[in-house]
């Protein structure tokens, strides 16, 4: 089924402090993962789910993002003259992927505020939100499933992943709606369990978390979320939280369509986190058509040298 949803919002205004000093002069979204900047994976995923009208909500010092998705005639001419077809294709592809628009967030008031900035661009349409820090390496399957669930139920849809309890305080967490003590699931296929959601809490302490289902950075939202965001007060960390606005969508299911969570069990990397960023590089390199075989062989021989090696001082 082709979805009616064509617009996606990609918040990319964060300062990238977790990656300093690497992100002192370049945006964190431009850090390469194998051979592409992290943000390109996110844009490609949106396109794979037929979302071709993209709005990036950026900030100061984010012009490299705009440059990356734009044409570079001088570079293209040089590659053409050299007959370097494969690089020429790679360079052109980035500017042809999608129709990318940019808007600055202005005040850094939180994810909810960044999404609210997209109101005028999105209008009265449902839309997707993809967080630039999350790489989901599944060819757009999760997003397509979320769009299908949205069409089927009329609800806003959020992707969640089961995480160990000690990690819940890094995420928004959903409370599944229980019927006779069991989560109210939505008829879906076995690969994609989906449940109705009663509540959402941003970064709860483990003992207060309603479940271990953590929100990962993919959402399909009804436009009513804008009206809710307009009057959402700052929450966790003094920021306007998308999770808090979704809490109201969930609580007013009759009027606002409710919230459905779909459980993702595939590979996801939080490239805002050093360890996950490195894992993304290694795993995606190992699967890379050009260098994958070499990388896999090297990992095996390197791993065999690792026993009892002391940590190096920096």
| Site for ligand G1P, rule CB under 6 A | 111, 131, 133-134, 171-172, 202, 214-217, 241, 243, 270
Q: Which is nearer to ligand G1P, 155 or 215 (CB)?
A: 215
Closest approach, Cβ 293 to ligand G1P, in A, equals 32
Closest approach, Cβ 117 to ligand G1P, in A, equals 16
- Spell 74-98 as b/e; 16+ CB within 10 A means b: eeeeebeeeeeeeebeeebebeebb
Distance separating alpha carbons of residues 254 and 258, to the nearest angstrom: 7
Closest approach, Cβ 167 to ligand G1P, in A, equals 10
Cis peptide before 21 (omega within 30 of 0): yes
Closest approach, Cβ 200 to ligand G1P, in A, equals 8
Closest approach, Cβ 107 to ligand G1P, in A, equals 16
Distance separating alpha carbons of residues 76 and 93, to the nearest angstrom: 11
What are the beta bridge partners of residue 102?
A: 56
Q: Which is nearer to ligand G1P, 134 or 198 (CB)?
A: 134
For residue 200, which of 164, 269, 268, 252 has the smallest C-alpha distance? 252
User: Cβ(138)–Cβ(131) under 8 Å?
Assistant: no
Q: Which is nearer to ligand G1P, 30 or 174 (CB)?
A: 174
Closest approach, Cβ 204 to ligand G1P, in A, equals 10
For residue 260, which of 204, 208, 215 has the smallest C-alpha distance? 215
Q: Which is nearer to ligand G1P, 79 or 134 (CB)?
A: 134
Q: Which is nearer to ligand G1P, 194 or 295 (CB)?
A: 194
User: Cβ(49)–Cβ(157) under 8 Å?
Assistant: no
Closest approach, Cβ 282 to ligand G1P, in A, equals 20
CA distances from 21 to 15, 17, 25, 33, 200 (A): 11, 8, 8, 17, 34
Residue of closest CB approach to ligand G1P: 172
Q: Which is nearer to ligand G1P, 53 or 134 (CB)?
A: 134
What are the beta bridge partners of residue 201?
A: 173
Q: Which is nearer to ligand G1P, 79 or 160 (CB)?
A: 160
For residue 220, which of 149, 298, 156 has the smallest C-alpha distance? 156
């Amino acid at each position: 089924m082709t979805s009616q949803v064509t617009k996606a919002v990609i918040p990319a205004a964060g300062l990238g402090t977790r990656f300093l000093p690497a992100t002192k002069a370049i945006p964190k979204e431009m850090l390469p993962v194998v051979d592409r900047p992290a943000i390109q994976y996110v844009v490609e995923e949106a396109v794979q789910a037929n979302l071709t009208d993209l709005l990036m909500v950026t900030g100061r010092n984010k012009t490299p993002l705009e440059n990356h998705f734009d044409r570079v005639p001088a570079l293209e001419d040089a590659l053409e003259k050299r007959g370097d077809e494969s690089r020429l294709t790679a360079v052109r592809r980035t500017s042809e992927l999608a129709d990318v628009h940019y808007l600055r967030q202005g005040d850094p008031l939180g994810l909810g505020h960044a999404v609210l900035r997209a109101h005028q661009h999105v209008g009265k349409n449902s839309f997707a939100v993809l967080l630039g820090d999350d790489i989901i390496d599944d060819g757009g399957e999760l997003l397509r499933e979320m769009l299908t669930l949205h069409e089927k139920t009329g609800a806003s849809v959020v992707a969640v992943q089961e995480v160990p309890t000690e990690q819940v305080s890094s995420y928004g967490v959903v409370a599944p709606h229980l019927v006779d003590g069991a989560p109210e699931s939505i008829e879906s296929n076995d690969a994609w369990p989906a449940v109705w959601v009663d509540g959402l809490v941003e970064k709860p302490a483990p003992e207060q978390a309603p479940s271990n289902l953590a929100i990962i950075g993919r959402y399909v939202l009804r436009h009513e979320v804008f009206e809710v965001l307009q009057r959402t007060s700052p929450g966790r960390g003094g920021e306007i939280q998308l999770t808090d606005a979704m809490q109201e969508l969930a609580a007013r299911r009759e009027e606002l369509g409710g919230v459905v969570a779909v459980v993702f069990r595939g590979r996801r990397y939080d490239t805002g986190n050093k360890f996950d960023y490195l894992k993304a590089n290694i795993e995606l390199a190992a699967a890379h058509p050009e260098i994958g075989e070499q990388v896999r062989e090297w990992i095996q021989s390197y791993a065999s040298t690792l026993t009892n090696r002391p940590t190096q001082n920096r």
